[in-house]
Chains A and B, each alone.
Chain A
Amino acid sequence: MAEHSGPDSGKHKANHANANSAALLHGRAGAGTGAGGLSGGLSQPAGWQSLLSFTILFLAWLAGFSSRLFAVIRFESIIHEFDPWFNYRSTHHLASHGFYEFLNWFDERAWYPLGRIVGGTVYPGLMVTAGLIHWILNMLNITVHIRDVCVFLAPVFSGLTAISTFLLTRELWNQGAGLLAACFIAIVPGYISRSVAGSFDNEGIAIFALQFTYYLWVKSVKTGSVFWTICCCLSYFYMVSAWGGYVFIINLIPLHVFVLLLMQRYSRRVYIAYSTFYIVGLILSMQIPFVGFQPIRTSEHMAAAGVFALLQAYAFLQYLRDRLTKQEFQTLFFLGVSLAAGIVFLSVIYLTYTGEWYAKIHIPIIASVSEHQPTTWVSFFFDLHILVCTFPAGLWFCIKNINDERVFVALYAISAVYFAGVMVRLMLTLTPVVCMLSAIAFSNVFEHYLGDDMKRENPPVEDSSDEDDKRNPGNLIVTMLMLMLLMMFAVHCTWVTSNAYSSPSVVLASYNHDGTRNILDDFREAYYWLRQNTDEHARVMSWWDYGYQIAGMANRTTLVDNNTWNNSHIALVGKAMSSNETAAYEIMRSLDVDYVLIIFGGVIGYSGDDINKFLWMVRIAEGEHPKDIRESDYFTPQGEFRVDKAGSPTLLNCLMYKMSYYRFGEMQLDFRTPPGFDRTRNAEIGNKDIKFKHLEEAFTSEHWLVRIYKVKKLDNRETLDHKPRVTNIVPKQKTAVLDL
C-alpha cells in the first residue's frame, strides 16, 4: 500500500482522455445542430471531428499503454507468471530457428519421458505475431531482443483493441459512444488483468482479434458485401490461430443469425454474410494444426453448421414463396417449419448443456485452478467498477431502439455475462461488451445534457427563455456528476492495475514500515543455479505449476508442466511428493529424476507455497492411485490439516513435508517464536529431526523460497547380509614389509 502514490501517469492520461471525449461530444453535438457552437473558423466540422477522434484514440492508446507499465517500471522488463514463460520459450525457438522448424518442434525437455509435440498443440498466433514484429524490426535495423517484443506486445495490442472497439461501437451507436468505449477499454481492469506488460499470453492479442472480428461481422451484415465478409473471415482466422476462445465467436455469430431469422429480419445481406462467413471461416480455421478437423467433428461447432443449414432452408422457402401459389406454399411451409423447429430445439438444448458443462467440471486438477471458479459480485465490481452498474442501461437503450446489429450486441452481452458468472476467467470476454454498452449509456446522457447548451444559442420556438434558465444549472450538475463518476472510475482503474495486476509473481516485493522496498528474487536465483550447476540433461521434478518456469529460465528437462494434458503423469508426481521417502525414491528412480524442486514460504510467510498446495497433490494422486494415497491420512482425527506436532504422522513423514522443513527446526527466525516456526501457517513444525537417506540438499535460496534436492544414485555395491569370507592365507610380502 505504501507504493500507491507511485507513478500515476496512466491515471492522468486516462482522465485526460475521458475529459477529451466529453469535450468531443460537446463539439459533435454542436456540429450536429449546425449552429456552429465552436468558436473560431469552424468551416469544416467533419475535419474537426476526425482530428478530435484521432487525438482521442491516440491518447486512449497512450493511456492504455502507459497504465500497463507499472510492472516494468517497478521491477524490470521481465516475463510474468507461468504460461507466458512457455509462450516466450516457443517464441524464442521460433525467432531463432524459423517458422517451419517451430511447426515441427518436438520438445523433449517437457513431460519427460514422453515429450511434447509443441507445433501441433499450441495456438501459434501469439508466437507468430511476436516473431513477425521482431523480424520486421530487425529488418529495419532496430535490434531489439525478442524478450522486449514479448513483454510489450500486450500493451501495444491494447491500443489496437481500443480502436477496434471504437469502430464496433460506432457501427452500433454513434461516434461519441465509440470514443467513450475506446477510452473505457483502454483502462478497464478486467482487460488490463490479462494484458499488462510482461503477461505474454494468448488473451492479450485475442481480445483485439475478437473485437475486430465482431466489427467486421457487423459491417458485413450491414452492407451485405462479400468484401467485408472475407475480411471478417481473415480476422476470424487470426483469432482461431491465437486463442481457444474462438469457439465463442463461432457460436455467437450463428446465434445472431438465428435470432434475426426468428425476428423475421431475414435479408439478402444476412444470407450473403453468413453463408460466406461459415464456409470460408470453416476452411480457414481448419488450417491451424491444433484445431484440425475439430470444426466438423466436435459438438461446440455444430450450432454453426445447424444454423447454416437452417439459413439455406429459409432462403429456399423464400424463393419458393415467390414462385408457388399460396396453397402449395402453405403445405411446404409447415413441413419446413416443423423441420426447422426440430433443429432449433436441438441447438437450444445443446447451448444450455454447454453452459452447464462449464459449471459442472469436478475433476480435481481443474478444480485446483482458481481461475475456474464462479464469480462473486465483488469480482465484477472490482474489475468493472461503475461500468457494471451502467451497462444494463446501455443494453436497455439498444433493445428499445433495436436493429440488426443491436440484436448482435444484446446477444453478446447476455451470453458473455452468463459465462462470466460461471467462470471468473471469462470476465475477459465480458469486458469489451460492458465497455461498449456503458459508453452508449454515458454518451446518451452526455448528448442530451451537453447538447442543450447549443440549443440555447438559437432557442426553439416553444421553449421560453424562462424555462431555459431553470434547466441549465440542472444540466450542469448532471454533467459534473457524471464526469465525477468517470473520474472515480479512472482512479479506481489505476489503483487496481497498480495494486492487483502488476505483480510479475516471478519476482516478489515486500515493503518495510518506512515504505522502502525489498526485492525477493529467490525464484530466479534458484533457476539460474540450476542452469549453471547441473548437467544439461538433468531431469527436475517439481509440482506442475513451476514446469514452464523451469523450462524457460533454467532450461532443464521437467516431468510435468502447466500444460496439464496428462493427468496420470501429474498424479505420479503427486504420489511421489505425498509418499514417504522410500516409496518416493522408487517412483523417482523409475522416472529418472535427478533433482527435486519445491517452493517453501515458511521463512518469509509466502502463502502460495507447496505445503499450501499440498492437499491438491494428494487429491490428484488419490484419483489415480486410491490404494496408496488416501486424503484422510493427511488430516488429524479432527479433520484438520496441521503441520505442527498434532498433525497426522503420514503428513509429517511424507517427502514434501521433509523437503520443506529439512533443517528448518534449527532456524530461529524471531526472538518471540521458537525455532522452526512456520510463518505462513503460524505453527511450530512437528517434525524437527528430519534425515534423508536417498536425497541430499543441493541448494536453498536466500529466503528459503526455493529448495532443490539432489536424488542420490543407488549405492555402488549392495551391502552383504553375511560376513565377508575369511581365509587363512596371509599375504607374506605384506607382513614382511610390516615387520621391517
Chain B
Amino acid sequence: MYGPRYLINLLLLSGVGGGEEKSFNLLAEKVEQLMEWSSRRSVIRMNGDKFRRFVKAPPRNYSVIVMFTALQPQRQCSVCRQANEEYQVLANSWRYSSAFSNKLFFTIVDYDEGADVFQQLNMNSAPTFMHFPPKGKPKRADTFDLQRIGFAAEQLAKWIADRTDVHIRVFRPPNYSGTIALALLVSLVGGLLYLRRNNLEFIYNKTGWAMAALCVVFAMTSGQMWNHIRGPPYAHKNPQNGQVSYIHGSSQAQFVAESHIILLLNAAITMGMVLLNEAATSKGDVGKRRIICLVGLGLVVFFFSFLLSIFRSKYHGYPYR
C-alpha cells in the first residue's frame, strides 16, 4: 500500500518548519482520517461539519468527488438511487484497484443529513456530482454534466480522469442473473423431459416447433430487436390534449405498442394464408370448408389493407393504397 508510507514521509517532513508544521500535521491528520474511513467503506458519508472540515477547508492535497443526493425513501428520488448504484460501482472500482491512493476520495452528502451544505452551495437539485480539486475552488467544469452525459460509471470515470488525471477502470461485479436464468430454464426443460421420459412424443410435434419458429420470425419482422436495442417508450401521450398515439409518426422510429400491433397483423395475415390452405386440403364437409376459406381470405385481405394504411401513415409520400 502506498498510503501509509506516504504518511510517514509527511510526518518526517513535518519537523521542518514552525508555521508549516501545524498545517502539515493538520493535513496528515485529515488524510489519515479519510484513509481510515475509506478503508472501511468505499464511499464516505458526510454531514455538514465533516464536509466543511474535509472538503471545503484548506489545507488539502487530495481531490474529493462529492455526490449530493437524497436517498431517504420519503424523498422518492428514483434517479438518485440509480445514480448511487453507479457511484458505488465506481467507488468500489477505485477502492480495490491497484492504483488506489490517497489522492482521491469518494464522498456522499445526503440532503437529510447536510441540508446546510446544499444551501451553502446554492444547490437545488439532486443528484449532483462535484469535484473539489486539491487547490482552489471548483470551477464550472468541476460539476458533472448529468443532464447531457448521464450517470453511467464509465462516464463518471472519464470525467474524473479529465479533472484529476486519475484513471479508474470500471469493474462491474459480473451479473449472474442471466446465467442463472439460463441454468434454471435448462434444468426446467430437462426436468420436464425426465418426468415425461416415457412419453416423448411431444418432442416430435411439428406444430409446436412450427409455432416456435413463427414466434421468432414475427418478433424479428415486427422490430422487437429494434425495441430491445433502442428502448423506445411504449406509446406517446401528447401533453397538450392528453391524446395517446400508438403509432410513431416517422418511418425511422417506432413505439413498443406499435410493434405489437404489427406483430399481430403479420400473424393474422399468415394465419389467413394457412387457413386458405387448410380449407382446400382438409377433409371436412363442404360448408365448413367454405367458412374456413372465407375467414382466411378475409383475414388476409382485411389485415393486409390495415397494415398498408399504417405504413402509409408513417411513410409520407407513399402513393398507393
Complex CA gap A477/B274 in Å reads 17
| Contact in complex: A417, B216 (CB < 8 Å) | yes
B230 on interface, CB distance cutoff 8 Å: yes
| Contact in complex: B223, A376 (CB < 8 Å) | yes
Distance in angstroms from A446 CB to nearest chain B CB is 10
Complex CA gap A397/B206 in Å reads 10
B-contact bits for A369-401, CB 8 A (1 contact / 0 none): 000001111101110001011111101110110
Q: A380 — which chain B residues lie within 8 A by C-beta? A: 221-223
B-contact bits for A328-356, CB 8 A (1 contact / 0 none): 00000000000000000000000000000
Q: A444 — which chain B residues lie within 8 A by C-beta? A: 277
Q: A224 — which chain B residues lie within 8 A by C-beta? A: none
Interface size on A, residues (CB 8 A): 54
Which of A13-21, A485-493, A567-575, A577-585 touches B?
A485-493
Q: B219 — which chain A residues lie within 8 A by C-beta? A: 421
Interface members, chain A 445-503 (any B CB < 8 Å) = 445, 448-449, 452, 467, 470-471, 474, 477-478, 481, 485, 488, 491-492, 495
B122 on interface, CB distance cutoff 8 Å: no
| Contact in complex: B252, A376 (CB < 8 Å) | yes
Q: DSSP class of A's interface residues: helix, strand, loop or mixed?
A: helix
Q: A410 — which chain B residues lie within 8 A by C-beta? A: 213
Complex CA gap A424/B134 in Å reads 50
Complex CA gap A680/B197 in Å reads 68
B270 on interface, CB distance cutoff 8 Å: yes
Partner of A376, one of B226, B276, B297, B318: B226
* Most B Cβ at <10 Å: residue of A381, A390, A441, A495: A381
B-contact bits for A356-376, CB 8 A (1 contact / 0 none): 000100000000000000111
| Contact in complex: A375, B254 (CB < 8 Å) | no
Chain B contact patch, size range? 35 or more
Interface members, chain B 41-63 (any A CB < 8 Å) = none
Q: B300 — which chain A residues lie within 8 A by C-beta? A: 481, 485
| Contact in complex: A377, B273 (CB < 8 Å) | no
Known contacts A378-B311, A445-B276; A495/B320 CB under 8 A:
yes
B70 on interface, CB distance cutoff 8 Å: no
Complex CA gap A396/B286 in Å reads 24
| Contact in complex: B229, A393 (CB < 8 Å) | no
Known contacts A1-B317, A381-B307, A449-B280; A393/B270 CB under 8 A:
yes
The residue in chain B whose Cβ has the minimal distance to the Cβ of A451 is B280
Known contacts A448-B281, A632-B148; A471/B286 CB under 8 A:
yes
Complex CA gap A488/B305 in Å reads 11
Partner of A474, one of B209, B267, B293, B317: B293
A46 on interface, CB distance cutoff 8 Å: no
Q: A382 — which chain B residues lie within 8 A by C-beta? A: 251, 311, 315
| Contact in complex: B307, A389 (CB < 8 Å) | yes
Complex CA gap A418/B221 in Å reads 9
A-contact bits for B196-208, CB 8 A (1 contact / 0 none): 0000000000110
Q: A381 — which chain B residues lie within 8 A by C-beta? A: 307, 311
Distance in angstroms from A379 CB to nearest chain B CB is 8
| Contact in complex: B229, A377 (CB < 8 Å) | no
Complex CA gap A449/B216 in Å reads 30
Interface members, chain B 248-277 (any A CB < 8 Å) = 251-254, 258-259, 262, 265-267, 269-270, 273-274, 276-277
| Contact in complex: A448, B217 (CB < 8 Å) | no
| Contact in complex: A478, B276 (CB < 8 Å) | yes
Distance in angstroms from A187 CB to nearest chain B CB is 15
Q: B220 — which chain A residues lie within 8 A by C-beta? A: 417-418, 420-421
Q: A492 — which chain B residues lie within 8 A by C-beta? A: 320
Partner of B217, one of A392, A397, A471, A639: A392
Q: A474 — which chain B residues lie within 8 A by C-beta? A: 290, 293-294
Distance in angstroms from B30 CB to nearest chain A CB is 31
A605 on interface, CB distance cutoff 8 Å: no
| Contact in complex: B223, A399 (CB < 8 Å) | no
Known contacts A392-B217, A421-B220, A478-B276; A399/B304 CB under 8 A:
no
| Contact in complex: B230, A374 (CB < 8 Å) | yes
| Contact in complex: B213, A393 (CB < 8 Å) | no
The residue in chain B whose Cβ has the minimal distance to the Cβ of A484 is B301
Q: B266 — which chain A residues lie within 8 A by C-beta? A: 388-389, 392
| Contact in complex: A376, B148 (CB < 8 Å) | no
| Contact in complex: B259, A377 (CB < 8 Å) | yes
| Contact in complex: B217, A414 (CB < 8 Å) | yes
| Contact in complex: B221, A390 (CB < 8 Å) | no
Q: B259 — which chain A residues lie within 8 A by C-beta? A: 377
Jot down 18 A-B pairs with beta carbons below 8 A, ordered by A: A376-B226, A377-B222, A377-B223, A380-B223, A392-B218, A392-B270, A395-B214, A397-B277, A402-B206, A414-B213, A418-B216, A421-B220, A421-B223, A471-B290, A481-B297, A488-B320, A495-B318, A632-B148
Residues of chain A touching chain B, judged by Cβ–Cβ distance below 8 Å, are: 1, 4, 359, 374-378, 380-382, 386, 388-393, 395-397, 399-400, 402, 410, 413-414, 417-418, 420-422, 441, 444-445, 448-449, 452, 467, 470-471, 474, 477-478, 481, 485, 488, 491-492, 495, 626, 632, 635, 639
Residues of chain B touching chain A, judged by Cβ–Cβ distance below 8 Å, are: 145, 147-149, 158, 162, 206-207, 209-210, 213-214, 216-226, 228-230, 251-254, 258-259, 262, 265-267, 269-270, 273-274, 276-277, 280-281, 286, 290, 293-294, 297, 300-301, 304, 307, 311, 314-315, 317-320
Q: A399-B213, A478-B297 are in contact. List 15 more A-B contacts (CB 8 A).
A: A376-B252, A377-B221, A377-B222, A377-B226, A377-B262, A378-B315, A380-B223, A389-B266, A414-B213, A414-B216, A421-B224, A445-B276, A467-B286, A471-B290, A626-B162
